[in-house]
C-alpha cells in the first residue's frame, strides 16, 4: 500500500471515530457547530484551489514552452499541450482541475522524467510530517509554558526576558537561524549533520513503510537508522520549533494576562486558592480557548517555515520540492503542491475548530 494511503489511514480513522463519538454524545448545539465547520471548510479549499488555478493560468507566455526550454520542438509542445488539455476553454480546464484535485490525480511532472507527481509526493509529504510534528510539539511546550510563566511573573525580570525572547525569535529570519545552527553545531563543533534525513549508507538498510523514517525504523527494529534519523532531525526541529515558539509564547502570555483580570480569578483568590493553581489551572485553561483558535491560524507560519527550513537543511520534503519545481518551471507539479498545501491548511483548521468546540463547555452544552 502506498505510504500516502497508510498515513491517511493512521490520521483519518481515529479522527472519524472521534468525530462520530462526539456527534453521538454531544448536544444538538455541538452537532450543529461541527457540521457548520465541516461545511465551511469546503468553500475554503475551493477558494484556495481556484486562486491557485487562476494564478498559474495568467502566466505571461506558455508554461509548456518555458518548461521544455530550447529542447522543445513545436511538435512536442503541441503534443504536450494537447495531452494536458491546455487548448480547451478555461471553464473546461477548470472543471477538469477540480475533478483531478478531488480524485488526487496530479498528473506527471513536466520536467525531468515525467514522473507521476503523486509518487514524488508520497516520499516528500511524510518527510514534511516528520519535521513539522516534532517542531510543533516543541513550539507548544515552550510557548504555552513560557507564556504562562511570563504572565505569572508580570512586570518582573523574567517576564521581560521572556518577552524579549519571543520578540527576538520572531524577528529572526528562520533561514538565517538554521544556517547559524548549521555553522555552529555542524561546522564548528561537528556534532550534528547539516543536511539530509538520514545517513546515506545507513539509509540503504532502511525498509520504508510509511516513509516517515523514524517510524519505519522503529517498526522494523532498525536501531542504527533510528538514531541516524534522530540526529538529522535535531537541528531542523530546533530551528522550526523555536521560531514558532515565539509566537505561541506571545499569544499565551497576552491571553493569560487578560484571563487573570477576570472576576472569577478574584473570587477564587477570595476562597483561598493558591496563586499558582489560579494561574496554571484556572487561568491557563480558560486562556487556552482563544489560544487554540489562534494557534490553529499559525499553521500558516508552520508551513511557510517548513519551506525555508527544508531548503536550508536539504530536507527532502514538500517545501523544498515546491522551491525546486518552481526553479525548474514545472508548473504542473507546482500547482499540485500548492493544492495539497491548501487542503492541509483547511483540514487542520477544521481539526482546530472541532477541538475548540470540545474544550469550551459553552459550546458543548
Partner 1 sequence: MAKSKEQLSETILEGATWEVELKQVGFVRRLFMARRWYGADWWFVAISAVGVVAFIIVAIFPGWFAPFSPDALVGPSFLAPGEHVDPPILVVPVSSAVQKLQDLAVPEGADSPTVAVLEGAPTGGALNEQAQKIDEVIKDQPKGLRLRPIIDRYPTLSGTLQAVINGTDKVAVVQMMEFHAVKAQYPTLREATTITGVTSTAGGFILGTNDIGQDVLSRLLWGTRIALIIGFSSSIVSLIIGVPLGLLAGFVGGTFDRLLSLLMDSLYAFPGLILAIAITAVLGPSILNIIIAISVLYIPTYYRIVRGQTLSVKEEVYIEAAKSIGARSLEILQRYIFPNVIPSVAIIFSVNVADAILTGAGLSFLGLGLPPTLADWGIDVARGQRFIQTAWWMITFPGLAIMLIVLAFTLMGEGLTEIFNPKLRDR
Partner 2 sequence: MPDDILYSIRNLTVEYKTRGGAVRAVDNVSLDIRRGEILGLVGESGCGKSTLGKALMRLHDGPASIPGGELWFDGRNLMDLPLREMTDIRGAEIGMVFQDPMTSLNPVQRILDHLTETIHTHEPETSDKAARARAEELAERLGIRRERLKEYPHQMSGGMRQRVMISLALALRTKLVIADEPTTSLDVIVEAKFLDLLKELQKEFGLTILLITHNIGVVAEAADRVAVMYAAKMAEVGTAQDVFIDPKHPYTQGLLKSVPNIKLDGGDLYKMGGQPPSLLHPPSGCRFHPRCPFVMDVCRNEEPAFEPVAGDHLASCWIYQTPVANKVIGEQEVHNG
Q: Closer CB to partner 2, residue 75 or residue 263?
A: 263
Chain centroid offset of residue 4 CA: 16
At 349, give phi and psi (nearest 5°): -55, -45
**Binder of residue 21, out of partner 2, partner 1, none (CB less than 5 to 8 A by kind):** none
Q: Residues near 92 by Cβ (< 8 Å), separated by ≥ 6? A: 85
Instruction: Answer yes or no whether residue 300 interacts with partner 1 by CB under 8 A.
Output: yes
Residue selected from 119, 123, 199, 258 as contacting partner 1 according to rule CB under 8 A: 258
**H and E: helices and strands count for the chain:** 18, 0
Task: Give the interface with partner 2 as residue ranges (CB under 8 A).
Answer: 262-264, 266-274, 282, 285-286, 289, 359-362, 365
Rounded to the nearest 5 degrees, what angle is found at the Cα of 76, between the Cα atoms of 75 and 79? 85
Instruction: Answer yes or no whether residue 312 interacts with partner 1 by CB under 8 A.
Output: yes
**Binder of residue 273, out of partner 2, partner 1, none (CB less than 5 to 8 A by kind):** partner 2
In the complex, minimum distance from the CB of residue 365 to partner 2, in angstroms, rounded to a whole number = 6
In the complex, minimum distance from the CB of residue 302 to partner 1, in angstroms, rounded to a whole number = 8
Q: Closer CB to partner 1, residue 139 or residue 229?
A: 139
Per the CB < 8 A criterion, the answer to whether 94 and 106 are in contact is no
Q: Closer CB to partner 2, residue 201 or residue 270?
A: 270
Q: Residues near 60 by Cβ (< 8 Å), separated by ≥ 6? A: none
**Binder of residue 25, out of partner 1, partner 2, none (CB less than 5 to 8 A by kind):** none
Residue at grid coordinates 529570519: 173
In the complex, minimum distance from the CB of residue 275 to partner 2, in angstroms, rounded to a whole number = 8
Instruction: Answer yes or no whether residue 14 interacts with partner 1 by CB under 8 A.
Output: no
In the complex, minimum distance from the CB of residue 364 to partner 2, in angstroms, rounded to a whole number = 9
**Binder of residue 234, out of partner 1, partner 2, none (CB less than 5 to 8 A by kind):** none
Candidates 118, 7, 56, 25; CA nearest to 347 is: 7
In the complex, minimum distance from the CB of residue 27 to partner 1, in angstroms, rounded to a whole number = 26
Instruction: Answer yes or no whether residue 179 interacts with partner 1 by CB under 8 A.
Output: yes
Burial (Cβ within 10 Å: 0-12, 13-18, ≥19) of residue 48 = middle
Residue at grid coordinates 532498525: 222
| Other C-beta atoms lying within 10 Å of the C-beta of residue 170 | 15
Give me the 151-170 binding string for partner 1, x by CB under 8 A, dash otherwise.
----x----x--x---xx-x
Q: How far is CA 164 from CA 99, 141, 154, 278, in A?
A: 49, 18, 13, 25
Instruction: Answer yes or no whether residue 265 interacts with partner 1 by CB under 8 A.
Output: no
In the complex, minimum distance from the CB of residue 177 to partner 1, in angstroms, rounded to a whole number = 8
In the complex, minimum distance from the CB of residue 349 to partner 2, in angstroms, rounded to a whole number = 23
Residue selected from 30, 52, 121, 235 as contacting partner 1 according to rule CB under 8 A: 52
Rounded to the nearest 5 degrees, what angle is found at the Cα of 271, between the Cα atoms of 267 and 277? 85
Instruction: Answer yes or no whether residue 173 interacts with partner 1 by CB under 8 A.
Output: yes
DSSP of 315-338, one letter per residue? Answer: --SHHHHHHHHHHTT-HHHHHHHH
Give me the 187-226 binding string for partner 1, x by CB under 8 A, dash otherwise.
x---------------------------------------
Greatest CA separation for the chain: 84
Instruction: Answer yes or no whether residue 254 interacts with partner 1 by CB under 8 A.
Output: yes
In the complex, minimum distance from the CB of residue 172 to partner 1, in angstroms, rounded to a whole number = 5
Instruction: Answer yes or no whether residue 38 interacts with partner 1 by CB under 8 A.
Output: no
Using CA atoms of 264, 268, 271, 277 in order, give the dihedral in degrees to the nearest 10. Answer: 170
Amino acid at each position: 500500500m502506498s505510504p500516502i494511503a497508510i498515513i491517511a489511514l493512521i490520521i483519518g480513522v481515529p479522527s472519524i471515530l472521534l468525530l462520530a463519538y462526539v456527534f453521538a454524545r454531544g448536544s444538538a448545539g455541538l452537532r450543529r457547530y461541527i457540521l457548520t465547520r465541516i461545511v465551511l471548510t469546503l468553500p475554503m479549499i475551493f477558494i484556495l484551489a481556484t486562486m491557485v488555478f487562476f494564478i498559474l493560468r495568467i502566466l505571461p507566455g506558455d508554461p509548456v514552452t518555458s518548461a521544455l526550454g530550447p529542447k522543445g520542438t513545436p511538435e512536442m509542445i503541441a503534443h504536450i499541450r494537447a495531452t494536458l488539455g491546455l487548448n480547451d476553454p478555461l471553464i473546461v480546464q477548470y472543471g477538469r482541475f477540480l475533478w483531478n484535485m478531488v480524485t488526487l490525480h496530479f498528473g506527471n511532472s513536466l520536467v525531468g522524467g515525467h514522473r507521476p507527481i503523486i509518487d514524488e509526493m508520497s516520499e516528500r509529504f511524510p518527510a514534511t510530517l516528520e519535521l513539522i510534528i516534532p517542531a510543533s510539539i516543541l513550539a507548544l511546550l515552550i510557548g504555552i509554558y513560557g507564556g504562562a510563566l511570563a504572565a505569572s511573573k508580570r512586570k518582573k525580570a523574567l517576564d521581560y526576558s521572556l518577552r524579549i525572547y519571543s520578540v527576538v525569535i520572531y524577528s529572526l529570519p528562520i533561514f538565517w537561524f538554521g544556517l547559524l545552527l548549521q555553522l555552529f553545531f555542524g561546522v564548528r563543533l561537528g556534532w550534528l549533520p547539516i543536511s539530509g534525513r538520514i545517513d546515506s549508507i545507513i539509509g540503504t538498510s532502511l525498509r520504508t513503510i510509511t516513509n516517515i523514517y523514524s517510524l519505519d525504523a522503529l517498526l522494523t527494529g532498525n536501531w542504527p537508522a533510528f538514531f541516524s534519523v534522530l540526529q538529522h532531525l535535531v537541528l531542523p526541529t530546533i530551528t522550526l520549533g523555536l521560531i514558532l515558539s515565539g509566537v505561541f509564547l506571545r499569544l499565551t502570555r497576552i491571553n493569560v494576562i487578560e484571563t487573570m483580570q477576570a472576576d472569577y480569578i478574584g473570587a477564587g483568590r477570595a476562597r483561598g486558592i493558591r496563586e499558582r493553581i489560579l494561574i496554571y489551572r484556572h487561568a491557563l485553561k480558560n486562556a487556552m480557548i482563544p489560544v487554540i483558535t489562534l494557534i490553529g491560524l499559525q499553521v500558516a507560519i508552520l508551513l511557510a517555515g517548513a519551506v525555508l527550513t527544508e531548503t536550508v537543511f536539504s530536507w527532502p520534503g514538500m517545501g523544498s520540492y515546491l522551491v525546486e519545481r518552481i526553479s525548474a518551471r514545472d508548473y504542473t507539479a507546482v500547482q499540485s503542491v500548492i493544492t495539497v498545501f491548501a487542503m492541509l491548511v483547511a483540514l487542520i483548521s477544521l481539526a482546530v475548530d472541532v477541538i475548540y468546540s470540545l474544550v469550551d463547555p459553552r459550546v458543548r452544552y
